[in-house]
Amino acid sequence: MKETDLFSSAAPMTDAAVPLGFAFAAARAGIKASGNPDFAWAVARRPAAAAALFTSNRVAAAPILVGRRHLERSRGAIRAVVVNAGNANCATGEPGLHAAQRVCAEAARILGCDAHAVIPSSTGIIGAPLPYEKLLAALPSLQDGLGSTGGHFDRMAEAIMTTDTRRKTAAASVETPRGAIRVAGMVKGAGMIFPQLTPAAGSPPHATMLGYIFTDAAIDPAGASRLLERACSTTFNRISIDGDTSTNDTLMLLASGASGVAIEADPGPEAAPLTEAFCAALRQVCLSLAKRMVADGEGAQRLVELDIRGAANDEEALRVARAIAHSPLVKTAWAGSDPNWGRLLAAAGYSGARLDPGRVSIRIGEEEICSMGMVSPRLNPEAARRVMLRQEYVVQIDLGLGEGRTQLWTCDLTEEYVRINAAYST
Amino acid sequence: MKETDLFSSAAPMTDAAVPLGFAFAAARAGIKASGNPDFAWAVARRPAAAAALFTSNRVAAAPILVGRRHLERSRGAIRAVVVNAGNANCATGEPGLHAAQRVCAEAARILGCDAHAVIPSSTGIIGAPLPYEKLLAALPSLQDGLGSTGGHFDRMAEAIMTTDTRRKTAAASVETPRGAIRVAGMVKGAGMIFPQLTPAAGSPPHATMLGYIFTDAAIDPAGASRLLERACSTTFNRISIDGDTSTNDTLMLLASGASGVAIEADPGPEAAPLTEAFCAALRQVCLSLAKRMVADGEGAQRLVELDIRGAANDEEALRVARAIAHSPLVKTAWAGSDPNWGRLLAAAGYSGARLDPGRVSIRIGEEEICSMGMVSPRLNPEAARRVMLRQEYVVQIDLGLGEGRTQLWTCDLTEEYVRINAAYST
């Protein structure tokens, strides 16, 4: 995957890359004011093993509450995910729960399965009643549209977009002695993006990212859950666009088993290489999708990888990364391609992580701009500025204290971001 | 104090409002590129009892380190504060400490006191060596300029500004049977403003606010410290412009005793009313200055008072207030005068505070926009929008859980903020 690809639509999904056992469709339900497709579903031909991570926001949207329950009741055997864009069905009370349930029930009726085998997702405005009748009315056209080509996959990825400017998909495959396993995912999200996804219950929340990863490997639901959590912890849970954790964030992994190749989450020595290869493919898809979201962040012009090292421990490295990723002064300096390392140092200083300013060094790309807490004698401001004109670069901060390390991907804060979000009306 | 005053320069300080026992002066040392006055001092005719609160940022600037030591060595008996604007003398290593010490030593020589009786402050760019020779060269003109009129006070308040658009001063007085006590303060700060001021040592950090409160009451240093902390806890430590805690934040109280009226921090029943009256005046000056900073925040068009109530406890109310004050989505909605309560609710949801969405109600000014976690049946979007076109309004969130409450003052996030900070060059 070339880095520049992150700033353009993913190449069309090829038919061969689509995991076996699934079909996809999109429709226009009339929720988006633009009239663009705004309703989609992914259907597993037979019950797929499903795992889900949901927002940790204490204000969880109706589809999150319904989805958690359905996942539990179905014991992770899922036939469909049904997604609408344009309305988050959040802060909608009992009527919102009813709306999500009605859509699941009608989808289940069409598929001839239990309502618990359908997981709902919504994204869009918070607090407006979900016009679920429009979704019910559009379900037959979702049924008619089902297909398993790359084009079907891409159309679903487009229908779930809100302020995204392009669809975001990624795919990988694993060759095994028993044949290929396919992994393919789609994601939406450009604002309210600081996913803190947790298994089922949860503690604090995020902005809306919706992500669906499909594979034709055979995995049991508990194993799928463990592998998804592991992949998420260093990808989706390590990005931030604006630091706002949404009420609707959802990440799902659905495993159809249609490839006939089984993956064990806790393999013995013999199966370990296969599990590792699968995990690598899963993480690659998750990381590509996560970085695509940041690159398509509202108003974003730069994708910045924070590489924090030398912290007392990993948790403190993460505190530094979060403080920097959420500092308006740092993010506006990036928008101005300004190697203002004082703002980086100040944010590290207030992060709560242990820090000795005299040990800190900072690099932007290959340029050292700060060493031992002072301006680097090797600072070349023009060279640093040139790095910062790239679409993607690394800011590396070494605290010089210990072995703690983390990576986090974030973006700049531009006037365009403010325009988009000051104009977006309730 | 009329609220609209917050958005204009404070009225000129009258001579009568200036606390007795102090003199002030400002000069052009040539640090600001604009050529504007950038160097000032306040001198106490006799040693004043001083208390200081400094940033909790772990990257503390040289003047903070020197100031802490001088305050300790002098046991709070201070003759002068010496302030330069345009250079923060932060991340400047040993040379930075030496520079701050040299300026204090030369000021002390002129005043005929110990160097420990002088407290330095700096604000401006981080990481550039402080050209302290320019300050040394300008000290004689600071000496010549000393005077105790309101005009002298105002000129110092102007010289310490950086991205501030207007000087910020406030004054109050307390009538006592033994005569009047005067309290007057000045402050600077428009960006890197989320003060987390702590006594001397400290834990996490802030953006640069410099604040100096003068009084002619007689208080001992320990008492001054307690009263300043109390006043700061609900004023300066309850504002945020951008959430960036500076490396240089400093708040000082200097008590000359020249009024002849003594204030006890821990009074008996007889003296209690006088202490309370003094505390009220001190808090009034601190709150006025704190709100003036937010109203003059970089690019800010609106001053928003967050009134969070009904939380499980005060600490959780503060978590909610901080999450809301630092949410780019909330702050841009304010810039667009958009009563987008979903973003408020989402931020409360991820704050970490305990919260039951079904109990939350939200008001903007006198307009109820959310009740029981859903859109209010009384919502009048146009009326809410009219409130949000005011320069100053209150956002009240009632979590409906307990007795926890806090207030915090913050501002909107505008395109102008991004322009200012993307252009500001290192």
How do the domains of chain B map onto residue ranges?
Answer: 3-295, 303-423
More confident residue, B356 or A424: B356
Preferred mutation among A240, A332, A370 to probe B, highest tally of B CBs within 10 A: A332
B203 interaction partners in chain A (CB closer than 8 Å) = 352
Q: What are the angstrom distances between the C-alpha of A372 and each of B124, B186, B204?
A: 21, 35, 20
Cα A283 → chain centroid = 12
pLDDT greater than 50 at residue B416: yes
For A425, which of B56, B125, B338 is closest by C-beta distance?
Answer: B338
pLDDT greater than 90 at residue B40: yes
Considering only alpha carbons, which residue of chain B is nearest residue A347? B244
Please answer yes or no on whether B204 and A350 come within 8 Å at the CB atom: yes
**Exposed, middle or buried by CB within 10 Å (0-12, 13-18, 19+), for B265?**
middle
Q: Chain B: nearest CA to A241, how far in angstroms?
A: 10
Considering only alpha carbons, which residue of chain B is nearest residue A352? B204
B346 interaction partners in chain A (CB closer than 8 Å) = 57, 59, 90, 126, 192, 205, 207, 244-247
The whole-number pLDDT of residue A146 equals 98
A59 interaction partners in chain B (CB closer than 8 Å) = 345-346, 348-350, 355, 357, 373
The whole-number pLDDT of residue A3 equals 42
pLDDT tens by residue, A380-411: 999 999 999 999 999 999 999 999 999 999 99
pLDDT band at B426 (very low <50, low <70, confident <90, very high): very low
pLDDT band at B8 (very low <50, low <70, confident <90, very high): confident
Preferred mutation among B237, B332, B370 to probe A, highest tally of A CBs within 10 A: B332
**Mean pLDDT over residues B356-362, rounded?**
96
Rg (CA), chain A: 22
Q: Chain A: nearest CA to B132, how far in angstroms?
A: 17
Please answer yes or no on whether A413 and B418 come within 8 Å at the CB atom: yes
Q: Chain B: nearest CA to A232, how far in angstroms?
A: 19
Please answer yes or no on whether B341 and A426 come within 8 Å at the CB atom: yes
The whole-number pLDDT of residue A2 equals 44
Closest residue by Cα to residue A370 from B236, B59, B133 = B59
**Mean pLDDT over residues B31-57, rounded?**
95
B190 interaction partners in chain A (CB closer than 8 Å) = none
Name residues whose C-beta falls within 8 Å of residue B355's C-beta, 6 or more positions apart in sequence.
A58, A59, B320, B348, B349, B399, B401
Q: Chain A: nearest CA to B155, how far in angstroms?
A: 29
- Mean pLDDT for chain B? 93
For A421, which of B246, B332, B349 is closest by C-beta distance?
Answer: B332
Considering only alpha carbons, which residue of chain A is nearest residue B241? A328
What token pair was written down for B177? 């049977």
Please answer yes or no on whether A328 and B128 come within 8 Å at the CB atom: no
Q: Chain A: nearest CA to B300, how far in angstroms?
A: 13
Considering only alpha carbons, which residue of chain B is nearest residue A93? B374
pLDDT band at B185 (very low <50, low <70, confident <90, very high): very high
Q: Chain A: nearest CA to B233, how far in angstroms?
A: 18
Please answer yes or no on whether B244 and A347 come within 8 Å at the CB atom: yes
The whole-number pLDDT of residue B1 equals 42
Considering only alpha carbons, which residue of chain A is nearest residue B331? A422
Cα separation, A188 vs A157, in Å, equals: 7
Please answer yes or no on whether A335 and B422 come within 8 Å at the CB atom: yes
Q: Which residues of B are identified as catalytic?
A: 208
B329 interaction partners in chain A (CB closer than 8 Å) = 191-192, 207, 242, 244, 421
More confident residue, A200 or B126: B126
Task: Please report which helix (H) or strand (E) contains residue A332, including its range.
Answer: helix A328-335
The whole-number pLDDT of residue B425 equals 53
Name residues whose C-beta falls within 8 Å of residue A316's C-beta, 6 or more positions apart in sequence.
A351, A352, A353, A354, A404
pLDDT greater than 90 at residue B155: yes
B418 interaction partners in chain A (CB closer than 8 Å) = 332, 335, 413-415, 417-418
Give the residue ranges of chain A where pLDDT is below 70: 1-4, 199-207, 424-426
pLDDT tens by residue, B163-175: 899 999 999 999 9
Considering only alpha carbons, which residue of chain A is nearest residue B208? A346
Query: CA dihedral in degrees (A71, A72, A76, A79; nearest 10)?
Result: -40
The whole-number pLDDT of residue A208 equals 76
**Mean pLDDT over residues B346-352, rounded?**
93
Please answer yes or no on whether A343 and B126 come within 8 Å at the CB atom: yes
Assign residue B93 a region: left if phi > 0, alpha if psi is -120 to 50, beta otherwise? left
B342 interaction partners in chain A (CB closer than 8 Å) = 88, 90-91, 125-127, 247, 426
Cα separation, A73 vs B57, in Å, equals: 49
For B58, which of A57, A349, A375 is closest by C-beta distance?
Answer: A349
Name residues whose C-beta falls within 8 Å of residue B16's C-beta, 6 or more positions apart in sequence.
none
Preferred mutation among A54, A125, A298, A329 to probe B, highest tally of B CBs within 10 A: A329
Preferred mutation among A56, A58, A413, A415 to probe B, highest tally of B CBs within 10 A: A58
B347 interaction partners in chain A (CB closer than 8 Å) = 244
B242 interaction partners in chain A (CB closer than 8 Å) = 327-329
Fold category of B3-295 in CATH: L-amino peptidase D-ALA esterase/amidase (3.60.70)
A122: helix, strand or coil? strand
A399 interaction partners in chain B (CB closer than 8 Å) = none
Q: Are B273 and B176 in contact (CB under 8 A)?
A: no
B327 interaction partners in chain A (CB closer than 8 Å) = 242-244
Closest residue by Cα to residue A152 from A11, A10, A14, A8 = A14
Q: Chain A: nearest CA to B129, how far in angstroms?
A: 9
**Mean pLDDT over residues B322-348, rounded?**
95
Q: Are A255 and A228 in contact (CB under 8 A)?
A: no
Preferred mutation among B56, B58, B372, B411 to probe A, highest tally of A CBs within 10 A: B58
The whole-number pLDDT of residue A424 equals 56
Fold category of A303-423 in CATH: Ubiquitin-like (UB roll) (3.10.20)
Name residues whose C-beta falls within 8 Å of residue A233's C-beta, 6 or more positions apart in sequence.
none
**Mean pLDDT over residues B187-194, rounded?**
86
Cα B145 → chain centroid = 26
Between strands A39-54 and A198-199, the pairing is antiparallel
Closest residue by Cα to residue B362 from A267, A91, A320 = A91
Considering only alpha carbons, which residue of chain B is nearest residue A334? B422
Considering only alpha carbons, which residue of chain B is nearest residue A59? B349
Q: Chain B: nearest CA to A323, how far in angstroms?
A: 9
Please answer yes or no on whether A342 and B413 come within 8 Å at the CB atom: no
pLDDT tens by residue, B221-247: 999 999 999 999 999 999 999 988 888
Considering only alpha carbons, which residue of chain B is nearest residue A56? B350
The whole-number pLDDT of residue B207 equals 39
Number of inter-chain CB pairs under 8 A, A vs B? 247
